[in-house]
Structure 1
Amino acid sequence: MVQTLAKTELMTFTEFVEWKPENRLYELHDGVIVEMPQPVGKHEQVKGFLATELVFEYRKANLPYFLPSQAFVKVPEAESAYLPDILILNTSNLVNEPLWESQSTVTQGASIVIAIEVVSTNWRVDYFTKVNDYEEMGIPEYWIVDYLGLGGRRFIGNPKQPTILVHELIDGEYQVTAFRGDERVISPTFPELNLTANQIFQAGN
């Protein structure tokens, strides 16, 4: 369960990065510090498998991308900063990022190739808050990997079932496609990716 730390005053992003202790994961949601839970084993297996497959795709294509171990996505004009489970960055745009060298933080959609959240108990943040913020930032592709089928029925069906939602930015708005079971997941950024939803869900089995 995500924990919101008790604090009487909202925190700016600058205050947050100065305060943030080492070796613990926090996000900032509209000025509120949120402690991220230690991920469970299955979560990390799904994340690790998918990250490895995506790195293979961009290395194969010789693209100027890389996958940081931890980097913040700071929402412009808001005191919010997220740590996506998987974040692939476009190296060529980092020269335009004022917070990259000092704070490992990106603020521009042009710097982000793809952001992925592997859903845990705080699914509403991934399905609502981050969708809106990432769309506003112009992040071209955002995945929600709901391997436990935790999200709302309007997103993953009734009865609920494990689902991957791929958000593609088209004319400034996200168009969403759902993938389940043995359906091949279609990535606009990595069209040669050849994985089914089940292959991702069953990572490590």
Structure 2
Amino acid sequence: MTVSYWNGRVLSLAEWFLLPEDNSRHFELVNGVVVATAKPGWDHQRALVRLCAQLDRELPSELEGVPSVEVMIRDRAHATVRAPDVVVVPTSLLNNDPSHIHARDVVLAVEVLSPGTARTDRVTKFAEYAEAGIPNYWIIDTESPLSMSAYRLVDGEYELDAEDSAAMTLTTPAPLTIDLPALLASRRR
């Protein structure tokens, strides 16, 4: 994907899916417009990898956590395609090797805050994911003190389910415990 290819114009969903792969930035489609942000930093990536490992150990076999997949939030005119840091979806869905996932299939979306995306994650995506019906949304802030806010969709709006900077025991999307300090701790040898 190069700037000259899309050059700020509104893209259809079909045009979005035809764009060539480009790993130089993080890309999303918002109301038909391609939005590019800088690649996340080390703490973000470390937390992301370790969260995926914890989810892999904790989730039941019928659910799976996957990083950075495209989720169709709105697929009509002026489509929105987001790429949450992690989504949890039914394993059966992934067995079909989808090119993208619809929001209706996501049971949990997770965003790890970055300086350039914190407002989007806390405000815009918070509203978009709720409107799309994603039942659980977690926001992880790697700034000291490391913390996580877990939200659950109730009557179309997110309500805070839990918030902590230590280990969090949650019941949705499945019973699990997330060790937050381990997301950034130095590796033990």
Specify the TM-score bucket, using the shorter chain as the normaliser. Answer: 0.7 to 0.9
Deviations along 1:75-109, one digit per CA (max 9) or x if unpaired, are 124521111111122134579x9xx74xx212242
Moved more, 116-125 or 167-176: 167-176
CA distance in structure 1 between the aligned counterparts of 2:136 and 2:150, rounded to whole angstroms: 7
Q: What's the CA shift string for 1:27-61, capped at 9, x where partnerless?
A: 11222212232222111111111111011112xx3
Answer yes or no: is the 8 Å Cα contact 1:49–1:203 preserved in 2: no
How far has the Cα of 1:179 moved from its partner?
2.1
Partner Cα distance (1:118, 1:125) in 2: 11
Query: Match of 1:117?
Result: 111
Unpaired segments of 5 or more residues in structure 2? none
TM-score of the two chains, using structure 1 as the length reference: 0.74
Q: CA deviation at 1:187?
A: 4.8
Q: Which of 60, 72, 75 is residue 73 of structure 2 equivalent to? A: 75
Number of equivalences: 179
Please, which moves more after superposition, 77-86 or 173-182?
173-182
Q: 1:180 to 1:42 in 2, by over 3 A?
A: same
Aligned partner of 1:134 among 106, 129, 135: 129
Q: Which moved more, 1:164-173 or 1:114-123?
A: 164-173
Q: TM-score, normalised by structure 2?
A: 0.79
Give a deviation string over 1:133-157, Cα, whole Å, max 9, x none: 11111111111101116xxxxxxxx
Mapped partners of 1:144, 1:194: distance in 2? 13
State, as a whole percentage, how many aligned pairs show the same letter. Answer: 25
The 3-state SS of whatever aligns with 1:193 is strand
Which one has the bigger strand percentage? 2
Q: What RMSD, in angstroms, separates the aligned Cα atoms of the two structures?
A: 2.8
| Counterpart residue number, 2:157 | 173
1:169 maps to a residue whose letter is L
CA spacing shift, 1:198–1:91, aligned 2, 3 Å: closer
**Runs of 5+ in structure 1 lacking a partner?**
150-160
8 Å contact kept, 2:169–2:175? no
Query: Paired residue for 2:177?
Result: 193
One-letter identity of the residue aligned with 1:72: E
Following the alignment from structure 1 to structure 2, what is the Cα–Cα distance between the partners of residues 94 and 171?
28
Which SS does the other structure have where 1:52 is aligned?
A: helix
Deviations 1:1-42 (A, max 9, x none): xxxx98352222221221243434311122221223222211
Quick check: 1:20–1:26 contact (8 Å CA) kept in 2? Answer: no
CA deviation after TM superposition for structure 1 residue 112, in Å: 1.0
Name the structure 1 match of 2:61: 62
The one-character-per-residue Cα deviations of 1:147-176 (angstroms, maximum 9, x if unpaired) are 116xxxxxxxxxxx5431111112322112
Query: Does 1:182 find its partner at 2:166?
Result: yes
1:185·1:194 contact (CA, 8 Å) conserved in 2? yes
Q: Is the 8 A contact 2:8 2:34 kept in 1?
A: no
- Helix, strand or coil at the partner of 1:23: coil
Q: CA deviation at 1:117?
A: 0.6
Amino acid at match of 2:69: A
**Aligned amino acid, residue 121 of structure 2:** D
Partner residue, 1:147: 142
SS state at 2:84 partner: coil
